[in-house]
Structure 1
């Protein structure tokens, strides 16, 4: 009697093993990918232009006189930093009255407004401007950041 029970369990184990192999083979055949054709990608000709423009914008570049993009780092003098917006605009107006040819920039990083002036290529130029403004503005700093390069005069002579 015991022998019959053992044979029965052995037969069911073999059946389970065969069923497992059958399922494994059918799943690999069902999920296997066979190449049926070629994929052809058709893209708009403006796509390359957009990629080039995106790369230029991400690099923060500007065009120079030859038409190529140039980005440069330099220095600016920070003349105001505070949370009062009207005081920031007043500081910018006061600076623009003294130096109308120099560019000023207002940067807002919550909760402070920062007024920065100039596009200096060297720290020495920024130090000179800071010394000129010493009595006019208090708590000035020299900041290193990406600047707008000064315009160069191109002559055709």
Structure 2
């Protein structure tokens, strides 16, 4: 009886292991790539203190960003669209103290600058 149970178990096990072979094709909608880029952009800005140095039309924002890139070459800068204006924001600071130190330095050149808290 044990031998019959052992043989049955072995045959079933071998048949199931051979049934596991196959090929999987994943078809992905092209818009998923675009959605991932939007998500990455949103995630990129969350969790960091940032400094907003100016805002306005896209042309004005580009001009401000160019000035910031010259004045603070080691500081990350980006133009964000927040309807209805474009905003120039700099830095990615994990701690508040680090952000405040750089904010004091930036504010000397850009008095209208604002320190932005991380979004949740």
TM-score of the two chains, using structure 2 as the length reference: 0.58
The correspondence for 1:81, drawn from 48, 55, 60, is 55
Q: Does residue 99 of structure 1 match 2:79?
A: no
Which segments of structure 1 move beyond 4 Å, counting only runs of 4 or more?
A: none
* Gaps in structure 1 of 5+ consecutive residues: 1-42, 62-70, 147-157
Higher relative CO (Cα under 8 Å, sequence separation at least 6) belongs to 2
- The verdict on how the C-alpha distance between 1:111 and 1:127 changes in structure 2, with shifts beyond 3 A counting, is same
The alignment yields a C-alpha RMSD, in angstroms, of: 3.3
Equivalent in the alignment of 2:63: 90
Q: Which has the larger radius of gyration?
A: 1
Q: Which runs of 5+ in 2 are unaligned?
A: 1-22
What's 1:129 paired with? 102
Instruction: Find the aligned partners of 1:134 and 1:109 in 2 and give their Cα distance.
Output: 22
Hey, what does 1:109 align to over in structure 2?
Answer: 82
Alignment TM-score, normalising by the size of structure 1: 0.46
What displacement does 1:136 show? 1.2
Alpha-carbon distance, 1:121 to partner: 0.7
